Amino acid sequence: MSPAPEAGIRQLVVDADAGARLDAWLAARLPDLSRSRLAQLLEQDRVAVNGRAARKSERLRLGDRIELTLPEPEPSTIAPENLPLTIVYEDADLLVLDKPAGLVVHPAPGHHSGTLVNALLHHITDLSGIGGVLRPGIVHRLDKDTSGLMLVAKNDVAHRALADALKRREIRRIYLAAAWGHLARETVEVDAPLARSPTHRQRMAVLARGRPAVTRFQRLERWVAADLLRAELQTGRTHQIRVHLAHIGHPVVGDPVYGGAGARGISGPGTLWARSLEKLVPRQFLHATSLAFRHPSTGEPLRFDSPLPPDLTPAWAWARQSSGAEAV
């Protein structure tokens, strides 16, 4: 794993960009610290402006003195585990893997072992340290029960470049999703900000105070009481596709959190069909099917594709056949 930024105190003076937010100003001047790391330091009151603890949204003035305290790096307690990984591409800077459903990406309460990070630490010895001790190398994540392609950085330089490309929307991430009901149009763009739900802290919700989130949906197949959709992320918020589809009244088939009534929400002639489909879907019908980006070192365009995995293929085949849908 690449070394973490050196611990100690850093002092800066605002000599330009008056009026900028503190978190954005720091991110522009401290490229060796990721935005998530800066956010963590701000939450821990390790950033002071003119001698007092500062808020990340604070607006700066010329002459403000900023002091940032970097603690000693926390030793990783994550044990490498010899778990199978499906690696579709690997070089000195990065790897692309095909994550199965059911695999948690990084350790969290209730999942201290058996995660993707445990497996990565066994298979790779030089993962980027930017993600912190719990998320080494992770450029973007997938939910536990979402399958498909993920991008992992193997050094800090590659990690910063890929993270920046992600923020600039230069990494294309396309998913296949089955959603209840039918979109009003063949293509739909959902632009709805997301934030942590104030009532259910494990869930995300569409809230005016949330972070911008945009997803583009295109219908690939129209089934009896559901659609097969192509979903392209324009931003990458937690649970974004699932929340956006639920928000417009077409939740992901098999989603236990945002799926609402599931097949019970389908009425009329499609009721029995919906119940049959629900029995065939073993988990949320969401798969990261395509990933495209430029290599952080060479600039070479790379694209990778992953077909629907075996656990979703029977439901897809039955839905197409029983609906008379044409192939994707």
C-alpha torsion 145→151→156→157, nearest 10: -160
> Which 3 state secondary structure label does DSSP give 187?
strand
Residue 324: exposure state from Cβ atoms within 10 A (0-12, 13-18, ≥19): exposed
Left (φ > 0), alpha (ψ -120 to 50) or beta: where does 25 sit?
alpha
Q: Examine the residue annotation and report whether 17 is marked as an active-site residue of this protein.
A: no
Q: What SS3 class is residue 36?
A: helix
160 phi/psi in degrees, rounded to 5: -65, -45
Residue linked to tokens 């992320």 = 233
User: What is the rounded distance in angstroms from the CA atom of residue 177 to the CA atom of residue 198?
Assistant: 27
Cβ atoms of 315 and 280 within 8 Å: the answer is yes
Catalytic residue among 23, 93, 98, 143: 143
What gap in Å lies between CA 205 and CA 258, rounded to an integer? Answer: 10
Cα–Cα distance, 278 to 276 (Å, whole number): 5
| Dihedral sign of CA atoms 154, 158, 164, 168 in order | negative
Helix ranges, the chain (H): 22-29, 35-43, 116-123, 156-167, 240-247, 271-280, 313-323
Q: Which two tokens stand for residue 99?
A: 């994550």
- Cβ neighbors of 279 (< 8 A, separation 6 or more) are none
Sheet holding 47-49, edge to edge: 8-13, 65-70, 47-49, 52-53
Residues designated catalytic = 143
